[in-house]
Amino acid sequence: MKEVVLIKVSGEDKPGVTASITGILAQYGVNILDIGQAEIHDNLSLGILAEMPGTAESAAVLKDVLFRSHELGMSVRFTPVSTEKYDSWVAAQGKPRHIITLLARKLTAEHIARVTEIVASHELNIDNISRLSGRIPLEDDERQGPNKASVEFSVRGLVDQAAMRAEFLQISSDLGVDIAMQADSPFRRNRRLVAFDMDSTLIEAEVIDELAIEAGVGDEVIAITESAMRGEIDFNESFQRRVALLKGLDESVLEQVAARLPITEGAERLVSTLKKLGYKTAILSGGFQYFGRFLQNKLGIDYVHANELEIVDGKVTGNVTGTIVNGERKAFLLEEIAKNEGISLEQTIAVGDGANDLPMLSKAGLGIAFRAKPLVRQNAEQAISTLGLDGVLYLLGIRDRDDI
């Protein structure tokens, strides 16, 4: 085997560095076995694993690279790589890869240290670290909206996913950050359908609670809602009990409530970006179809499935028509939409906050508990609580600078 050398070039970033170095290597017929480049705060780090043409010519190659690097104002280091070490590196290429995404309002050294300590304790190698979020000003600027920061780690090695997720969940609780871990597979980069819960997910409210307040039965309905979201009461039973309390409510109240619904932070940007990328979107809600259609028109959602509130002579009857959209129904609808669109379940994403969202979260290729109850966070594969809904884009590897 010919001599293998790792060439490391670093210094102030400027156009033409990579072209200049590889141009010299090309003159000598050097083979490139691996190459990587990163830029941090206008400083470049370029690494090239080169197979040299022969011992006699290696010195000339390295001397030319050294002189050219100095002309460019760059530092350069040469490290010989033994045959044994190179063969070991080649043999490791079959190891599974995972993507770990860290999300926070502002990243600190402690956040990075705690995540990488867990990675190291599981004997995983970090191949790459990338910042997904935009550049953060030192002083908060309210005009730019709430701060958000995200870093993505590409790791290699055998993973005990259950153990690592448990440890990441503890860090999330301790430090107020979100940490997601996904297999680095083609499906991660080719999701095609995103299904959202509506209440407390796309909107920062529970519609039935808002209607109950208007009907003067707010406390009774809110108590039932909270118990159902914690998984303490069967959804169908709790839903029917709550709807019955709305009997006699005037139909005009629905329009008033819809007009004041607060859209969740990041929801409009997320749905807009997904549409531009060709994703299909759906609302699968245990709430009401009237409000689902309202959001469909406002955000441009493709599908809406929710409960039809029965209205007779301009008054709510306290009943719903058709099949109740409970947790099992949501999972069924997700599968049906994917099938009709010719999309595999691995290419689907589901986002929700309550216990009745868990069936669809578990069925989707990527299930995300959003600002969810503890029970849901613990049982969902991924969770976002720190950022807005557009934090989902980071889990897809989409950077702020892409500006789609």
How far apart are the C-alpha atoms of 343 and 325, rounded to whole Å?
22
Phi, psi of 3 (to 5 degrees): -70, 135
Active site residue 234: no
Annotated catalytic residue, options 197, 353, 357, 390: 197
How far apart are the C-alpha atoms of 101 and 180, rounded to whole Å?
5
How far apart are the C-alpha atoms of 278 and 276, rounded to whole Å?
5
Q: What is the 3-state secondary structure (H, E, C) of the chain?
A: CCCEEEEEEEEECCCCHHHHHHHHHHHCCCEEEEEEEEEECCEEEEEEEEECCCHHHHHHHHHHHHHHHHHCCCEEEEEEECHHHHHHHHHHHHCCEEEEEEEECCCCHHHHHHHHHHHHHCCCEEEEEEECCCCCCCCCCHHHCCCCEEEEEEEECCCCHHHHHHHHHHHHHHHCCEEEEEECCCCCCCCCEEEECCECCCECCCHHHHHHHHHCCHHHHHHHHHHHHCCCCCHHHHHHHHHHCCCCCECHHHHHHHHCCCECCCHHHHHHHHHHCCCEEEEEEEEEHHHHHHHHHHHCCCEEEEEEEEEECCEEEEEEECCCCCHHHHHHHHHHHHHHHCCCHHHEEEEECCHHHHHHHHHCCEEEEECCCHHHHHHCCEEECCCCHHHHHHHCCCCHHHCC
Strands 348-352 and 280-288: unpaired
Annotated catalytic residue, options 199, 353, 357, 390: 199
Active site residue 87: no
Residues serving a catalytic function are 197, 199
